[in-house]
Chains A and B, each alone.
Chain A
């Protein structure tokens, strides 16, 4: 199943620190050998300042208590640099930690800067130091401190580029701390920035930012309560969809899943099917193939098979396969939801082109249910008036009423506009006559 693993395609678009949760998940699922994962973890950590953690992993990987010399050296270096940065940022940090002093800050940025400069001798250098300090904290894995400092920094910073990276940093920190609500707010702020083309030199870099944004958002969307609606809102915007199609077609998996799970997005859904069809050459996995089977080729047996594969994919995907622990159970809520909805998709389409379906053999099989369950399921559908059909128990079939456009409705449709048009015509004529008369 490792062939459907997207980590390799997703990771380049994430921050180093954001890759950890994914690796953790993979370790848990045991898709790859432990050794492989631990090695890649060390590799990841090498560029960060989380040396202690790297040391631990090294020990568990090679089962020794020795630590390579360069790690020790690096640790000393990191500590020294931390000290230096702390000192540089100290005046501002102490100012910010003093509640009464913070009260003096006003919404006016220029005033604040002026005030800081005059009263506390905090100039641009100190502010810059704060940013560096925050960044360093983040690198060390101290996300909450980093988030705090970055928040403060943003209020004081004047450089728009710096502000943008501070925003990215804050978002990453919040995601890593799993503060989904705050992260979501950050996300919206960032999205505004990203959509503002003034911030970018070229359309290319803007698109790259969009892709980053979408990748980072995966964390939020599949953890936030309302996330699945929002993922459609965001990903299905033209600009973002274009970005996906151009450079990150693997994101289609998440969009497809969100569409299947959310039934109420019909109109966009149709367009989305076209996109999937078009991108078939550049990306496909069981989930998109499932959609293609149901909505493009009407291959229901194929869809059936794909559905089973989809289950596997979902379980092994770090975002989709999130687990909920309830007592002794651990369930994957998305899987159940997905399967239920997928089944509905199949059945719905199936009904549209059939007038009589054998319930016992075909339908139950198609729905992965036994006869009784299938009957109950259909009855429920009929009762909730989702389906215009009757069950014929004698022959064991479902009979679906063919739906014809009503002739009377059509006629009414045709003539509806006529009276309106006539009124308009007359009023226009009258107007004309009046202007003529006035002359």
Chain B
């Protein structure tokens, strides 16, 4: 330290320098002394390595404060050198603040000598500066101002420490010595107690090993005790002599500490520490249990706000405490934990061998849930790209072992409802893990197992001062070979005993997990049979998010197994609002149209999914758009004339419109561009190009069975390309030979035959096979001019009749007329899903039929039809507002028309520019 100073302070005046040197040296000595002390302590505890870790943690906090202080003193010195009073003033404020901290950390009343020395130095410098009138004049105004205020502040401040300062001035050395004395004194103190404890230990007739444990404990205790404030120390004096400790004293103290909870001025950490100490001196298992519960509650209190999370080391200790609680509960069967009955005052006085149940107030499930929530929260707030996040994830086995043990205990006690709740937490820990991740976690548990064992012991050994609890509950989670078996086990328990919400959530997790394993049909059946879609709107937001996640995963699963239409219907709703991120709770999406209040934003942030649980959005988007493409490309080709009529995916159409508006297509960059490029190729029937573009997406590497998925995709693209081609170009052909098609689309004859036959049967394609020549013969169904006009006429007639009806309805009011409403089968997944078992069929079949009808009067007064359909749907949504709805519909369509116009104009403008 001094050497550093030397290099810095070389330029200043000699005398000052020497002065400083002295001071710094003493400071350094101080620090050295400190560490020496701690080493000494360590030496004491040498029998067990355990205390090491704890000790160091405590020390480092203290050291850190001191270091900070030293740094500030350094700053002050620097400021003095350049005569910068402004920064000097700042540093002074800072050091005062740090002083408070140091005092708190060291728990002593004595002001550190370092501080005093800084004051002395400051005073000297101030006097010197004041005496130097000339220099004072030269100062800038702000500097002078600072000097003056500094003068006053210092005066005021130094009054408090007058004696100390004087003493310091007299001889800086004695101060230090005294310090050392104190230190040794305390050490002696410790030693004596330490001996006592050993006596006590042998009295208790404990084994050698445990003695060692005790010693370690005791040292810990001392270290801890030293930090207590004076008052606490006084009270703790009662416990100095272990022989004198009775149940009553412990109970009294316990009540006292608990009563202080939540009061102003009660340090949260301190409370935890006090209570931890009490657990060690507890007289009966029941009392220990009771106190442990309070410790855990107090540990929960450590983190005040809703937004932050519990410090990780506190969390870990909390988990260990829970495990000890379980140890006690399994060891002493007569203790029952309950949060319904208020136990009597002296319930915990009953000894371990008390005949009958001892009731202790507490709720294990709530604790486990809270711990789980804290774990979740910590993952939410830690930056996922740091090492810390990974470290944190490694703590998961700890949580799962706790949950497992609690669940086992609850099942043993017969509280299946509670067990189901805990089981749900466990389900939520594993449901999103594919088999690979699950295996990795199992391996981690095996690896960490040994190391963890030690760590676990070290923590749990601590408190066994009076009540020694052997580790009964396993400290290592056991995982079945297969994640599915584990899910099945947990989920069946939940279905049996859980309440509605628990069951619903478990079901969603189950669906998610099945979908993850590519078991689409099982997942779908679960979803449809549970009727979750019907009442998901009434569930809480978190469950809705889970539902969305399950749907997204289901969509991905459907795609992987090659069910394009199903995949699309699962995903389309997610993408319809453009708020995918928000719906999946994977980030906040900014909406341009309405600002969110800070409150809303905070809420939203609180329900974010941790990063490792995310569903890859890029993959999801790719899957959604590809599904939409495969469905839309032939659909658009089939209905060129009234393109607006039947839209499968609005999102896709919009994107396509945007990309078509571009003057010339750039090479694709993101997922969207790729799919659009593929669509353009597909519309021409160029399947190879379409596939190549899609194949070049790099999201595919996220898929496990990449090869087979791409294979499936290729087959699908070929098929849709064929269909699109046929729709688009039939009008140019009289007949098409099968051989030619097989060559064009690289499909087998049987496949082409099957695809084309299907189109014929569904009457999408007006053609038939000519078997001897192996050709498709197209039938012309072109209407003659007269016929077309006749169709137009009837169309107009029906419009007329309809508007008459509406006019009358508006006059008379009330919908007495039953208008022939054309039912439009909705494609909402959620809606059709309700009619269990028939969901996707609704889609494909009605589509076929509708196409048919539409083809009849394609080309005749298109806009009219459009306006009508708008009116229809309006009307259906509310009969009573018939008239207004109708006009609304018209206005709408008119607006749409104008929009289209303007967009058309924009296109032409754009076109004009490059030319």
Contact = CB atoms under 8 A, between A and B. Distances in A.
Interface of A: 242, 245-246, 274-275, 278, 281-282, 297-299, 301, 349, 352-358, 362, 395, 397, 400, 402, 404-405, 407, 410-411, 414-415, 417-418, 421-422, 424-425, 428-429, 432
B783 interface: yes
20 contacts: A242-B836, A242-B837, A274-B838, A297-B754, A353-B757, A353-B760, A355-B768, A355-B770, A356-B770, A356-B771, A397-B772, A411-B791, A414-B798, A415-B794, A418-B798, A421-B820, A424-B817, A425-B805, A428-B817, A432-B811
Given A356-B772, A397-B772, A407-B783, A415 B797 contact: yes
Contacts of B797: 415, 418
A206 B808 CA distance: 52
The secondary-structure label for the interface of chain B is helix
Contact of A357 (B525, B771, B801, B845): B771
For the complex of A and B, 4 pairs with smallest distance between CB atoms: A298-B757, A414-B794, A355-B768, A353-B760
B808 A429 contact: yes
Contacts of A353: 757, 760-761, 768-769
Nearest to A397: B772
A432 to B, nearest CB: 5
Nearest to A414: B794
Given A246-B529, A298-B757, A410-B856, A354 B801 contact: no
A278 B771 contact: no
Contacts of B816: 428
A436 B702 CA distance: 73
Contacts of B845: 274
B910 interface: no
A246 B521 CA distance: 12
A358 B771 CA distance: 7
Given A245-B837, A353-B757, A404 B781 contact: yes
Nearest to A395: B772
B812 interface: yes
Nearest to B779: A402
B710 interface: no
B560 to A, nearest CB: 15
A302 to B, nearest CB: 8
Bin the interface of chain B by size: 35 or more
A415 to B, nearest CB: 5
Interface in B761-818: 761, 768-773, 777, 779, 781, 783, 787, 790-791, 794-795, 797-798, 801, 804-805, 808, 811-812, 816-817
A179 to B, nearest CB: 36
A204 to B, nearest CB: 11
A421 B761 contact: no
B57 interface: no
Given A404-B779, A414-B798, A282 B808 contact: no
B181 interface: no
Interface string B830-843: 00000011100100
Given A397-B772, A425-B804, A299 B750 contact: yes
B244 to A, nearest CB: 63
B753 interface: yes
A329 to B, nearest CB: 38
Nearest to B820: A417
Contacts of B787: 407, 411
Contacts of A301: 750
A422 B798 CA distance: 10
A246 B528 CA distance: 11
Nearest to A357: B771
A289 B61 CA distance: 75
B758 interface: yes
Contacts of B525: 246
Given A428-B808, A432-B812, 19 more contacts: A274-B838, A274-B845, A275-B837, A298-B753, A298-B754, A352-B760, A352-B761, A355-B768, A355-B770, A356-B770, A356-B771, A356-B772, A395-B772, A407-B783, A410-B856, A414-B795, A428-B816, A429-B812, A432-B811
B848 to A, nearest CB: 11
Given A274-B838, A397-B772, A298 B758 contact: yes
Contacts of B856: 405, 410
Contacts of B754: 297-299
Contacts of B773: 356
Given A415-B797, A417-B820, A354 B770 contact: yes
B738 to A, nearest CB: 13
Interface in B353-401: none
Nearest to A302: B750
B801 A422 contact: yes
B550 to A, nearest CB: 20
Contacts of B758: 297-298
Nearest to B852: A405
Please indicate which of the listed interface residues A275, A282, A301, A355 has the most CB atoms of chain B within 10 Å of its own CB: A355
Contacts of B812: 428-429, 432
Contacts of A357: 771-772
A354 B805 CA distance: 45
Contacts of B769: 353-355
Nearest to B816: A428
B516 to A, nearest CB: 18
Contacts of B783: 407
A414 B794 CA distance: 7
B808 to A, nearest CB: 6
Contacts of A356: 770-773
Contact of B768 (A298, A402, A415, A425): A402
Contacts of B781: 404
